[in-house]
Structure formats: structure tokens, C-alpha cells
Amino acid sequence: MDTLSRLERTIAGRLADGDAQSSYVAQLHARGAAVIARKLGEEAVEAVVAALSGSREDLTAEAADVLFHLLVLLAEKGVPLSDVLAELDRREGTSGLDEKASRSS
């Protein structure tokens, strides 16, 4: 099993029966989707700042925070990672410019 799938499974376990006193994921779950979404936005901004003015190590760490919080948000909203990967698979081989055109039509 790959890293993201393992993490998705851990997160699902914490959502099901995690203790907010000892689990960060359970704590986020208790605070709800809006807080998790805001946290993801903050982590994305931190990744942008790291990309523009930080080191490679900074960007690596912030990118990990983004992926982790995205997985928590997907789990909270009941969207499996496999659905996201299937969407990326669907786009594979098409130009990003074609995708953009089909969205605006």
C-alpha cells in the first residue's frame, strides 16, 4: 500500500473512533469541515510562501502539510482518495489546455 493510501486509512480510523485529547485528526474532525478547509487554505498559502521565498526543505515540509490536510478534508467530506486519483487518471493524456477549454464551454 502506498503512503497516501496508508495515511488515508489512518485518518479514517481517527475519524471513526479517535480521541480529540490525543489525536490531531480527531480534534480537526470535532471542529468540522469549515475549520479543516480553512486549515488546508492556510497550509496552501504556507506552501506558496515556501516556494517563493523558502528553501527546498521548507517547500517539502509545507507540501506534506497540504497533502495531509487535503486527505483529512476529503475524509471528512466522504470523498475517497481513489475518486481523486480516478479523476487524474481520466485527465491523463489530455492537454491541460484542452481540459481548461472544456471547463469553460
Cell numbers representing residue 82 in the block: 481513489
Q: Which of 16, 24, 32, 83 binds ligand PRT (CB under 6 A)?
A: 24
Q: How far is CA 71 from CA 52, 74, 93, in A?
A: 24, 5, 25
Of the listed pieces 21-29, 50-58, 87-95, 97-105, which binds ligand PRT according to CB under 6 A?
Answer: 21-29
Instruction: Answer whether 95's CB lies under 8 Å from 102's CB.
Output: no
Asked if residue 65 binds ligand PRT (CB under 6 A), the reply is yes
The residues binding ligand PRT (CB under 6 A) are: 7, 10, 14, 18, 23-26, 65, 68
